[in-house]
């Protein structure tokens, strides 16, 4: 006999936007849902970004009371965190409630305090932990679990990282809808989006990066899923655009080439987006196959055009190597997006403002840039604390200095944006996106009928913000 009859896996975020929070499915939650299949009678997946009928706590509570005996909630984002906590606290306390996710792992004590209805919190990667919960393993014996026991919060020891080869990939039949780009509730293009994770972890040791660390400070070694499993999952994907969520898809070029070969062999027609380092430029054969297989967007971590800062960040590359790599990469019909960090330790305003010029020199199609940030387990945390004149206000927040505070960095950010995204660059982006199939006439047909509604909602939101600022 199964311990639970009906488990609800729920993404509690409500709202719109064209960030990853809006375009892509809640992949972590879907891994949890897949891990429960066969261990409970029924699993339902609910994404409140799209399920407007359940966005009211009262309506959702009625559904949970009538149908659900295990509620699993993923809290992964810092954005709207307090609002999400308030929403969760209103859900039925009589239903067993388990919370997990990146942000939940960081805020265990706060969640238990603010949400008396939460029974358990899963810390770290939760696929094996949720299986133990639903099969009735005593809570005291489940590593990685925090729970309430007679009015006291108990924190079990950390759970070891699970073997990626044993984790089932998401079951897309549980979804109730497609995922697409939207803003203020208005669909922006015909494309639908999905994500696939073919590896976990990263073998590199960039000093600024904590992506390969979970909130508990555990570093996952670079681990690969069997290629056959990746192709099997891709065959279940119906979306037009697929993001490989791997930290670096081309870490193992031979494996990447094999995936490309099998995508072509199985006639899988998708637009693939991948994160990568410039090292991929050393493998033109792989690049050729990737282009043929539909890999049309490369998200490339460059971080800085300055050798001194690249060395400081332990990036393992130089400006010259970046230039050489892009001489190769720009020969392919692949959209190249670069990531940069500004506000680095000892970085001058002139050095920061060289970012847009350098990005154009190496022929990047687009860029994004963020302030240097400090995470709990970042090696940079100690460096900042020991550097006179540099400070941060919170873990996860940006680094400031006596010379470049919030106001100064905002001005620099605006100049970087305006100097890169001028009219010629915007026209270049439109032409290239159209040429390689990222944008077409059908997108216009989707957007145009909705344009008046989109403009109305944007103006309405601006007026609401203006009133709230005036009243404040």
Q: How many CB atoms lie within 10 A of CB 386?
A: 8
pLDDT band with cut points at 50, 70 and 90 for residue 4: very high
Residue 206 has pLDDT above 80, yes or no: no
Whether 210 and 328 map to the same domain: the answer is: yes
pLDDT at 160: 83
Q: Do 159 and 211 sit in the same domain of this protein?
A: no
Query: Helix or strand or coil: residue 366?
Result: strand
Residue 308 lies in a domain: yes
For residue 323, give Cα distances in angstroms to 93, 220, 279, 359. 58, 31, 12, 10
pLDDT value at 203 more than 80: no
Question: Does some domain include residue 129?
Answer: yes
Identify each DSSP E strand in 197-286 by its residue range: 199-200, 223-224, 241-244, 271-276
Residue 186 lies in a domain: no
Report the C-alpha gap between 403 and 343 in whole angstroms. Answer: 10
Domain tally for the chain? 3
Does the residue 118 lie in any domain?
Answer: yes
> Which of 7-11, 200-204, 288-292, 336-340 shows the lowest mean pLDDT across its residues?
200-204
70 backbone dihedrals φ, ψ, rounded to 5°: -145, 120
Burial readout 16-37 (b: 16 or more C-beta within 10 A, e: otherwise): eeeeebbbbbbbbbbbbbbbbe
Q: 375 with 388, same domain?
A: yes
Indicate whether 100 pLDDT > 70.
yes
What is the C-alpha to C-alpha distance for residues 350 and 444, in angstroms, rounded to an integer? 40
Q: What is the pLDDT of residue 3?
A: 84
Residue 238, pLDDT score: 95
- Name the nearest CA neighbour of 379 among 208, 235, 241, 250: 208
Same structural domain, 336 and 399? yes
Q: What percent of the chain has pLDDT over 70?
A: 86
Q: For the residues 13-39, what does the mean pLDDT come to?
A: 80
pLDDT at 215: 59
Q: Are residues 380 and 254 in the same domain?
A: yes
Confidence of residue 472 (pLDDT cuts 50, 70, 90): very low
Domain final residue pick, 165, 181, 215: 165
pLDDT at 187: 72
Per-residue pLDDT reduced to its tens digit, 282-336: 999 999 999 999 999 999 999 999 999 999 988 999 999 999 999 999 999 999 9
* Residue 414 counted as domain residue: yes
- Looking at the fold, whether 146 and 283 belong to one and the same domain comes out as no
For residue 220, give the CATH number of its domain: 3.80.30.20
Domain with 361, as residue range(s), is 197-439
pLDDT band at 200 (very low <50, low <70, confident <90, very high): confident
Instruction: Let me know whether 252 and 391 are in one domain.
Output: yes
Q: What pLDDT sits at residue 57? A: 79
Specify if 189 maps to a domain.
no
CATH number for the domain that contains residue 95? 3.40.50
| Predicted local confidence at residue 17, as pLDDT | 45
| Residue 423 predicted with pLDDT over 60 | yes
Please check whether residues 216 and 119 belong to one and the same domain. no
- Radius of gyration, CA atoms only, the chain: 23
Asked if residue 130 belongs to a domain, the reply is yes
Whether 167 has a pLDDT exceeding 90, the answer reads: no
Whole-number Å distance between alpha carbons of 352 and 293 = 36
Task: Convert the pLDDT of each residue in 247-270 to its tens digit.
Answer: 899 999 999 999 999 999 999 999
Q: Are residues 215 and 141 in the same domain?
A: no
Q: Is residue 244 a contact partner of residue 196, using CB atoms and an 8 Å limit?
A: yes
Looking at the fold, whether 424 and 451 belong to one and the same domain comes out as no
Q: Which residue has the higher pLDDT, 212 or 148?
A: 148
CB 131 within 8 A of CB 104: no
Comparing 216 with 347, the larger pLDDT belongs to 347
Clarify whether residues 378 and 472 are in a common domain.
Answer: no
- Work out the average pLDDT over 418-424: 95
Mean pLDDT over all residues of the chain? 87
What would the DSSP string read from start to end of 95-124?
A: SEEEEESHHHHHTHHHHHHH-TT--EEE-S
| Residue in 362, 363, 365, 340 with CA at minimum distance from that of residue 353 | 340
pLDDT at residue 87, rounded to an integer: 92
Question: What's the pLDDT at 462?
Answer: 47
pLDDT at 169 over 80: yes
Q: Are residues 272 and 415 in the same domain?
A: yes
pLDDT of 18 higher than 60: no
- The answer to whether position 192 is within a domain reads no
Q: Report, as an integer, the average pLDDT of 66-86.
A: 92
């Amino acid at each position: 006999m199964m311990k639970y009859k009906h488990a609800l896996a729920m993404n509690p975020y409500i709202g719109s936007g064209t960030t990853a929070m809006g375009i892509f499915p809640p992949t972590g939650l879907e891994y949890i849902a897949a891990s429960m299949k066969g261990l409970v009678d029924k699993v339902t997946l609910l994404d409140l970004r799209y399920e407007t009928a359940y966005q009211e706590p009262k309506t959702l509570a009625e559904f949970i009371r009538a149908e659900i005996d295990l509620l699993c909630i993923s809290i992964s984002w810092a954005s709207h965190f307090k609002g999400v906590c308030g929403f969760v606290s209103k859900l039925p306390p009589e239903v067993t409630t388990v919370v997990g996710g990146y942000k939940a792992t960081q805020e265990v004590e706060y969640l238990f305090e603010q949400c008396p209805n939460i029974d358990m919190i899963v810390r770290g990667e939760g696929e094996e932990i949720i299986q133990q919960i639903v099969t009735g393993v005593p809570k005291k014996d489940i590593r990685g679990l925090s729970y309430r026991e007679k009015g006291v919060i108990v924190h079990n020891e950390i759970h070891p990282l699970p073997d990626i080869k044993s984790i089932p990939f998401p079951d897309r039949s549980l979804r109730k809808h497609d995922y697409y780009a939207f803003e203020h509730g208005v669909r922006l293009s015909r494309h639908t989006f999905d994500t696939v994770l073919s590896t976990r972890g990263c073998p590199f040791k960039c000093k600024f990066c904590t992506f390969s660390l979970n909130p508990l400070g555990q570093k996952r070694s670079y681990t690969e899923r069997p290629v056959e499993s990746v192709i099997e999952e891709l065959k279940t994907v119906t979306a037009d655009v697929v993001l490989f969520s791997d930290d670096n898809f081309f870490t193992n070029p031979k494996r990447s080439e094999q995936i490309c070969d099998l995508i072509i062999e199985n006639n899988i027609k998708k637009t693939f987006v991948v994160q990568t380092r410039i090292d991929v430029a050393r493998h033109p054969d792989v690049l050729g196959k990737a282009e043929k297989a539909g890999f049309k967007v490369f998200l490339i971590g460059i971080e800085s055009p300055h050798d001194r800062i690249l060395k400081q960040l332990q990036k393992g590359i130089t400006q010259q190597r970046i230039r050489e790599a892009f001489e190769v990469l720009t020969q392919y019909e692949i959209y190249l997006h670069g990531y940069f960090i500004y506000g680095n330790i000892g970085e001058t305003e002139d050095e920061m403002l060289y970012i847009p010029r350098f990005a154009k020199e190496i022929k990047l199609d687009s860029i994004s840039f963020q302030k240097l940030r400090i995470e709990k387990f970042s090696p940079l945390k100690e460096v900042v604390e020991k550097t006179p004149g540099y400070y941060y206000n919170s873990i996860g927040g940006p680094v400031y200095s006596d010379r470049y505070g919030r106001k100064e960095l905002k001005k620099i950010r605006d100049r970087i944006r305006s100097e890169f995204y001028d009219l010629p660059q915007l026209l270049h982006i439109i032409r290239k996106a159209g040429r390689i199939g990222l944008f077409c006439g059908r997108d216009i047909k989707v957007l145009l009928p909705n344009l008046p509604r989109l403009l109305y909602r944007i103006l309405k939101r601006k007026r609401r913000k203006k009133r709230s600022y005036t009243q404040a």
